[in-house]
C-alpha cells in the first residue's frame, strides 16, 4: 500500500506521522511538507493546511473538498534547495470532479523558520 502522496509507505509511516497528535514531528524538508500537504488536501485536514501555511500568505479559511472530488495522484517533478531555509518544489496534482479530470501544476516556495517548514506561495504552470 502507498501513502496518499504516492510514496511507497503506509500513510501512518509517511504523511500521517506529520498529521496526527499534538506532538507530531515537523517535516524535515520542503518536499516532505509538500507531500504531507497534498495528503492533507486528500483527507480534508484543513487545520493542518492552515498551520503549515506561512502567516504572511495564509488565507483566513480553506474550503473543504467539494462532494465527489477524487484526488488521483501526485507527481513531484523537482525539489530545489536555495539555502538552509528556502526551497522550491515543483509538482503536478491530479484530481477528478464530476467526470472531468483536472491537473494542477505548481512551483511552490517554502521557507523554514525556527526549524519548521512553511508553504509560502506558488506559481501555477
pLDDT tens readout for residues 9-35: 999 999 999 998 665 678 999 999 999
Residue 6 lies in a domain: no
Residue 3 lies in a domain: no
Sheet holding 116-124, edge to edge: 70-83, 86-97, 100-113, 116-124
Q: How many domains is the chain built from?
A: 1
Q: What is the pTM of this model?
A: 0.94
Residue 4 lies in a domain: no
Residue 2 lies in a domain: no
CATH number of the structural domain spanning residue 54: 3.10.450.50
Segment 85-112 mean pLDDT: 97
Residue 41 lies in a domain: yes
Residue 68 lies in a domain: yes
CA–CA separation, 31 and 29 (whole Å): 6
Query: Which structural domain, as residue segments, surrounds residue 116?
Result: 11-124
Amino acid at each position: 500500500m502507498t501513502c496518499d502522496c504516492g510514496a511507497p509507505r503506509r500513510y501512518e509511516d509517511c504523511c500521517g506521522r506529520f498529521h496526527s497528535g499534538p506532538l507530531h514531528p515537523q517535516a524535515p524538508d520542503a518536499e516532505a511538507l509538500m507531500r504531507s500537504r497534498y495528503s492533507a488536501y486528500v483527507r480534508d485536514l484543513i487545520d493542518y493546511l492552515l498551520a503549515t501555511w506561512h502567516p504572511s500568505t495564509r488565507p483566513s479559511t480553506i474550503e473543504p473538498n467539494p462532494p465527489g472530488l477524487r484526488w488521483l495522484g501526485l507527481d513531484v517533478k523537482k525539489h530545489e534547495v536555495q539555502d538552509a531555509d528556502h526551497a522550491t518544489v515543483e509538482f503536478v496534482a491530479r484530481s477528478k470532479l464530476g467526470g472531468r479530470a483536472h491537473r494542477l501544476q505548481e512551483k511552490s516556495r517554502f521557507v523554514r523558520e525556527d526549524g519548521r517548514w512553511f508553504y509560502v506561495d506558488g506559481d501555477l504552470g
